Structure 1
Amino acid sequence: MKYAWIVILLLIAGLFIGPLWDGNTGYVLIALGNYTVETSLVAAVILLTLAVVVLRVIWQFIMRLVRGTAWGVKWFGERRTGKAQKALKEGAVALVNGDHRSASSAFNRSWQLRHDGTVALLASYAAAANEDYPQAREWLQHAPEPGQLKLAETLFSLQQDPDLAQQRLQELKQLRRDYPQHPQLLRVALHAYEQNHCWDELLESLPDARRLEVLSATELSELTEHAYRERFLAVGREGPAALAAFWRKQSRDERRQPAVRRAYLRVLKTFQLLDAADKVAARGLKRGELQLAHLLDKRLLVAGPELRDYLQTQLKKEPENGLLLQAMGQMALITNEWSLAERALRRSAELVPSQRVWLDLAQVYVAQGNSAAALEAYEKAGLDGSNRPLK
């Protein structure tokens, strides 16, 4: 940049030195009424430059005097504050729209006009969203509260390197106690708890996750089922009585959550506690807490009396319901009633064909020794005879 200025100054100097060297300096004629002023071009430029410099000095002197008055201080202060607020608003709008670079630039302008700790925090957040973590940490030095500095630094560190969660778990737990309503902290904590198998802490955080809506409905359902399944498995290793007691310990609302009931049903089947699984599945279906399609796809049905009675009652009302027929077919598979399973599953395949029903039907044909029919069923399921996807 300095070389460009040098070139420009040399060109300007040439404009004056050239005419002077040639003896033709040019002239400027200023006429005002009956008065005229004639001077050389060089002298006119010099006078004009001096006039600009003098006027600038006078203007700065006047402004300094004005700023020294109570009125001047108030006027300029309000003007500066207004500009800072305008820049802050522009930054907030850009942040909401996901334009983190523009937001960072606007927050920087606002900070230059007025040193506000809130602006520093927002600027830090915008810098972190741009993955400029050194800049984000620098902004945090201007945070209004030391606690917020610690919170933000932890969030930035874990966002930058999630593998640090194991080393900073205690710190994370303390921050969760200090800031229970912080959505970004909660999201980071949920990921860290799941990654490090801290199921109790994760279960305690689920109500906050539901209330603050930090996860989508699907993500929350999957995380809830995973956490409860792992917790039920840990308790179930102590024995059936411990698992039943832990289930009863859950609140009524928790036991009626579909994700929680699915997790418990899966663990009951894992430990072959089929009587309890029969009751949990049947009562969940009756109350609408479980979906038959999900139980069919995940093979969570058991051949228990309560579930069988429920399905038979529903079939009397809807004899052409493909899902109910598939459920009866799966239960017949469990009890090795091959003829009943074949009839139910074939009719189900006609009404609601799916990969699961064709796989179940193939299993029936294999048990009956009907290899040709089994291969055809596997093909309709999109698999070959070895359960590998068809190319």
Structure 2
Amino acid sequence: MKYAWIIVLLLIAGLFIGPLWDGNTGYVLIAVGNYTIETSLVAAVILLVLAVLVLRVIWSFIMRLVRGTAWGMRWFGQRRTSKAQQAVTDGAKALVHGDPRSASSAFNRSWQLRHDGTVALFASYAAAANEDYAQAREWLQHAPNPTELQLAETLFTLQQHPEQAEQRLSELQELRRQHPQHPQLLRLALQAYEHVHRWDEVLVALPDAQRLAVLSATALSELKERAYRERFLAVGREGPPALAAFWKSLARDERRSASIRQAYIGVLKTYQLLDAADKVAARGLKRGDLKLAQLLDKQLLVPGVELRDYLQGQLKQHPEDGLLLQAMGQIAMATNEWSLAERALRRASELVPSRRVWLDLAQVYTAQGNSQAALAAYEKAELGTN
């Protein structure tokens, strides 16, 4: 601070000494009506500075008096509140438009005008969106609710260090009981459950995940299928009767779910319960619970009587349906009917070319000993073209 004063004093001294040394101090002439005032340039500058300082002191005194009145306090308070609210609005708009940096700046302005715990939570969220977790935690110290502080701290930590989810699993479960409607917390919990293979917890959380839309429809469907597959595998270790009993114990809506039914068919195939897999797949297709394209892609078709009859009946009505031809080709592969499989898959590759069709056809050509055609099919599968 003393160095600043030294610099100011040197500047003032320069204003006086410089012109005197040069012998030309300059002058300022002020004329008002018949009156004139003539003074040196240095003196005019000093007087101007003094005038500004005096005016500032007078203005500060007046403002202090105004603020001391009930009217002044109310007017200035409303003005600060209005500015603070406008800053919060600006911050919220910035968050909606995906600009967390501008949002963070706006929430900081609002906090300077009015210390509101809700603004601190918004500012913490914006800082976390900027991946500035130190700043986010600092804002959390002003949170109005200690429970919210713990929740946000856990969320920030797991966002920054997802590998810690396993060690903090009990904490996650407790927070889930306290905040069952929190989508971000549920998303992190699902990731943790899946990472440590806690499939029962995943199954319990799936209805909330669907209701809160924490995952896309595709991601939710895949997670449901994985979770039920693991559950069916665990039950199936007790034997086929236990697996069948568990399937029948599910609610009707659950058995009609495509994800759950596909998981069940996959496990039936794993345990070589092909007759049961045949019935579940065929009846799912007949009722519209399953899509043939999904069964083809996941290779869930089995060479059962009921499924084969269904596909043949459909082919009589739609002989040029590429998916039906592909399905018949896969079933023929399962029974080593290579000639039938080749004809069906080759026609399917013309009607509905896909990577799965070309891979199946390459497998057929390999079984037939046609290595050149198999290589060409593999190349088309890699290119994804026909």
* TM-score, length basis structure 1: 0.91
**2:265·2:277 contact (CA, 8 Å) conserved in 1?**
yes
Question: Matches of residues 139-288 of structure 1 in structure 2 within 5 Å?
Answer: 139-288=139-288
Kindly provide the amino acid, as one letter, of the partner of residue 331 in structure 2.
M
* Matched-pair contact (CA < 8 Å) for 1:356–1:381: no
Residue by residue over 1:141-162, the C-alpha shift from the partner in whole angstroms, topping out at 9 and shown as x without a partner, is: 0001111000000000000000
Offset at 1:106? 1.0
Partner AA of 1:239 in structure 2? G
State the AA in 2 paired with 1:376.
Answer: A
Q: Using a 3 Å threshold, how does the CA distance of structure 1 residues 228 and 9 change in structure 2: closer, same or farther?
A: farther
User: Retained in 2: the 8 A contact 1:355–1:382?
Assistant: no
Distance 1:279 1:32, change over 3 A: same
Shift of 1:2: 10
Residue identity in the other structure for 1:72 = G
1:124 partner letter: S
What RMSD over aligned residues (CA atoms) do the two structures have, in Å?
2.5
Structure 1 CA distance for aligned equivalents of residues 359 and 96 of structure 2: 49
Residue 7 of structure 1: how far off its partner (Å): 6.6
State TM-score, norm by structure 2: 0.92
Aligned to 2:36, the other structure's residue is in SS state: strand
SS at match of 1:283: helix
Give the partner amino acid of 2:234.
A
Structure 1: unaligned runs, 5 residues or longer: none
Q: Is the 8 A contact 1:355 1:380 kept in 2?
A: no
Contact 1:342/1:364 (8 A) holds in 2: yes
Corresponding pairs, count:
383
Matched, 1:58 2:54: no
2:376 corresponds to: 379
My pick for the range that moved more, 338-347 or 22-31, is 338-347
**What do residues 295-321 of structure 1 show as CA deviations (whole Å, max 9, x unaligned)?**
223221111121112112111111222
Over residues 323-381 of structure 1, what are the superposed CA-to-partner deviations in whole Å (9 max), with x where a residue is unaligned?
Answer: 212222222222233443344334334433444334434444444xx42x343134123
Q: Distance in 1 between matches of 2:6 and 2:109?
A: 31
Is contact 2:362-2:378 (8 Å) kept?
no
CA distance 1:75–1:95, change in 2 (3 Å): same
Q: Which amino acid aligns with 1:88?
A: V
Single out whichever of 169-178 and 336-345 deviates more from structure 2: 336-345
Q: Partners in 2 of 1:379 and 1:293 — Cα distance?
A: 24
1:212 alignment partner AA: L
Q: Which amino acid aligns with 1:379?
A: A
Report percent identity of matched pairs.
76
Task: Tell me the amino acid that sits aligned with residue 246 of structure 1.
Answer: F
- Aligned equivalents of 1:351, 1:47: Cα separation in 2: 94
Shift of 1:27: 2.1
Contact 1:203/1:228 (8 A) holds in 2 = yes
Q: Distance in 2 between matches of 1:378 and 1:270?
A: 29
Aligned-partner SS, 1:37: strand
Residue identity matched to 1:377:
A
CA contact (8 A) 1:358 1:378 kept: no
| 1:320 matched to 2:317 | no
1:209–1:215 Cα contact (<8 Å) kept:
yes
Asked if 1 retains the 8 angstrom alpha-carbon contact of 2:322 and 2:347, the reply is yes
Q: What is the rounded CA distance, in whole Å, between the counterparts of 2:48 and 2:72 in structure 1?
A: 31
Structure 2: state its 5+ residue gaps.
none
3-state SS in 2 of match to 1:381: helix
Is residue 2:129 matched to residue 1:129?
A: yes
| Distance (whole Å) between structure 1 residues aligned to residue 357 and residue 49 of structure 2 | 92
Displacement of 1:277 in angstroms is: 0.6
Q: Which residue pairs with 1:356 in the alignment?
A: 356
Which residue is equivalent to 2:309?
Answer: 309
| SS at 2:37 equivalent | strand
Partner residue in 2 for 1:98: 98
d(CA) in 2 for partners of 1:216, 1:357: 27
The separation in 1 between residues aligned to 2:108 and 2:227, in whole angstroms, is 43
Residue equivalent to 2:43: 43
Partners of 2:356 and 2:51 in 1: CA distance: 91
Match of 1:382, as an amino acid? Answer: E
- Distance in 1, matches of 2:139 and 2:301, equals 56
State the 1:4 CA deviation.
9.4
Q: State the distance in 1 between where 2:102 and 2:5 align.
A: 31
Q: 1:55 to 1:344 in 2, by over 3 A?
A: closer
One-letter code aligned to 1:332: A
CA–CA separation in structure 2 for the residues paired with 1:112 and 1:363: 70
For 2:88, the equivalent position in structure 1 comes to 88
